[in-house]
Structure 1
């Protein structure tokens, strides 16, 4: 948006607005931004249901006037500070004196979590704003996202939501992605600039198998694999199990194979294989519909223990601890070898000298 010059007419999110001024240099600094256009959209009050109203919003007969085009209104946060002054005094209460400069309200959460493909809302409450403007800045690249009620980024997922009778300036990020995680600054155009930082953490769906990467079971016992799918906006539509690259056939002639799925905020899929046999050894993969797959290797033991497992006939090296112990011992021998050679040389030299002395004595 900032790369354009003077713009007399704009269509933003389906609203026809007028803008004046502009910056032909394409600089998005607050000092050279064009005049901020305003538009309004009346939506049902999110806390108004069945004749009851929620707290923290405006009192417009069951509706609140929000700036922007949010298709999913969000409730403004109720401030912690009471700077109403006269209203509080008239009610017989007490309030803080009205400051002479903008003040941030600590009611706005400084840490916000969201799931991928969901909307993330960052709040910024400012009292006594006066003629100053509120901007949202992405800290990692210092990109100006919004100024006032206007959006200054080509990424249409960003927009600001504000009610004229509220101190809350809400940055909405639609379809949030993991790359959106980071620090966002709410800035007020004072001198020097005042800022309020909010950290956004966007979680992506993740799958894991309990006990990975290896599981050892005895022959004849039951193999119990649990695949956990977390941080998803909704449960996966399906979860497939694979054994050595082939889909597990629950109705095979082998029998004894059962799958149980518990869906919820965290989904768990259980693969139960009764009467484990050597042919059940191998790689098992859990593949949910909404995230990357995860794998585990099952070893069916025929009476031996995992520590006794050997490869290529080399006993003990299958155990990483034994291998590290062998390396440590070899290193110690190499360090002491020069000293041993020196002592051996000195001993041989001394023995030779003694022999020569004895020979001279006998000759005389």
Structure 2
């Protein structure tokens, strides 16, 4: 029993050592590579020549896919690495074949039809920008570079005159509030939708206040969303936020409602207009009484 366990452990150790040797031989272009299967010929990249650099642009926070299509792979192995430059002597190994060597769980490898070894980066960060290398294990170096650029979406709030609102905006009571949320610098998939909030309350489908409407136009490279609030009240004052869902894009503005010539009558707790002040009425009656008494 002890002998069986010993030889089993020895076999596992040798297998592990063999795999590690294959990885480092392939990275250094060493001689200890498998030969291509007879009749298949040497492997080659389907879309680009060896040594080519592909430029890929992606959105901050989105899922990014880097493609490496290899024909006539035979018994060779495809690996993905991260490099600071082409001359970097210490590349960071991400995947080898179907195995993931990175401790970052955002990396995944997919082998799809069409001989595509696709590297996925989930929730892309600004730090992911840089040079990636797809390498095929062979005597002659067979590499394809991809430079990844990460784009940050831009979002801002404009008023009805298309002027940018930075921190706060003031409206007169009774007026119509018109704010526009503009999102630009988008790449990849079309945005899902834009949400307007006052504090923690969503306004897109608000029925509580009434007089609120949101009109959104989604495009491949950007989006606009118009918020309109009729008959501004003092209670409309507060923090308004515009957020592009599915992407890391949000901005906010402080809205202040002040009395003005268009202000609506002040409402009491019951929702009825308050009675006009009685002092002017009493003054008028007193003047009329004085005049009538002087005529007697």
Give the TM-score of the pair, scaled to structure 1.
0.43
Residue 226 of structure 1 is aligned with which of 171, 180, 189?
Answer: 180
Change (3 A) 1:187 1:213: same
Matched, 1:201 2:145: no
1:123, CA displacement in angstroms?
3.6
1:184, CA displacement in angstroms?
0.6
Match of 2:254 in 1: 297
Match of 1:310 in 2: none
Matched, 1:145 2:90: no
Change (3 A) 1:6 1:260: farther
Matched, 1:23 2:17: yes
1:152, CA displacement in angstroms?
4.6
Match of 1:282 in 2: 238
- Distance in 1 (alpha carbons) for counterparts of 2:111 and 2:189: 23
- Distance in 2 (alpha carbons) for counterparts of 1:35 and 1:152: 21
Deviations 1:102-126 (A, max 9, x none): x43x4x6233436745450234779
1:284, CA displacement in angstroms?
0.9
- Distance in 2 (alpha carbons) for counterparts of 1:134 and 1:25: 13
CA contact (8 A) 2:157 2:251 kept: yes
CA contact (8 A) 1:146 1:152 kept: yes
Match of 1:216 in 2: 169
Match of 1:173 in 2: 120
Residue 270 of structure 1 is aligned with which of 211, 223, 226?
Answer: 226
1:142, CA displacement in angstroms?
2.5
CA contact (8 A) 2:191 2:245 kept: no
Match of 1:258 in 2: 213
- Where do residues 35-184 of structure 1 align in structure 2 (5 Å cutoff)? 78-79=47-48, 103-104=50-51, 106=52, 109-113=54-58, 116-123=61-68, 135-139=79-83, 142-147=91-96, 149-153=97-101, 155=105, 157-159=107-109, 161=111, 170-173=117-120, 175=122, 177-178=124-125, 180-184=128-132
What is the SS of the residue equivalent to 1:271? strand
1:247, CA displacement in angstroms?
4.6
What is the SS of the residue equivalent to 1:23? helix
Change (3 A) 1:237 1:6: farther
Deviations 1:159-183 (A, max 9, x none): 26488xx8x8644216453254432
- Distance in 1 (alpha carbons) for counterparts of 2:188 and 2:152: 7
CA contact (8 A) 1:109 1:123 kept: no
- Distance in 2 (alpha carbons) for counterparts of 1:27 and 1:112: 35
CA contact (8 A) 2:237 2:256 kept: yes
CA contact (8 A) 2:64 2:120 kept: yes
- Distance in 2 (alpha carbons) for counterparts of 1:232 and 1:196: 22
Change (3 A) 1:152 1:288: closer
Deviations 1:98-153 (A, max 9, x none): xxxxx43x4x6233436745450234779x99998654211268322344x45352
CA contact (8 A) 1:113 1:201 kept: yes
What is the SS of the residue equivalent to 1:251? coil
Which is strand-richer, 1 or 2? 2
Larger CA deviation: 133-142 vs 26-35: 26-35
What is the SS of the residue equivalent to 2:101? coil
- Distance in 2 (alpha carbons) for counterparts of 1:111 and 1:122: 10
CA contact (8 A) 2:181 2:225 kept: yes
- Distance in 1 (alpha carbons) for counterparts of 2:116 and 2:177: 54
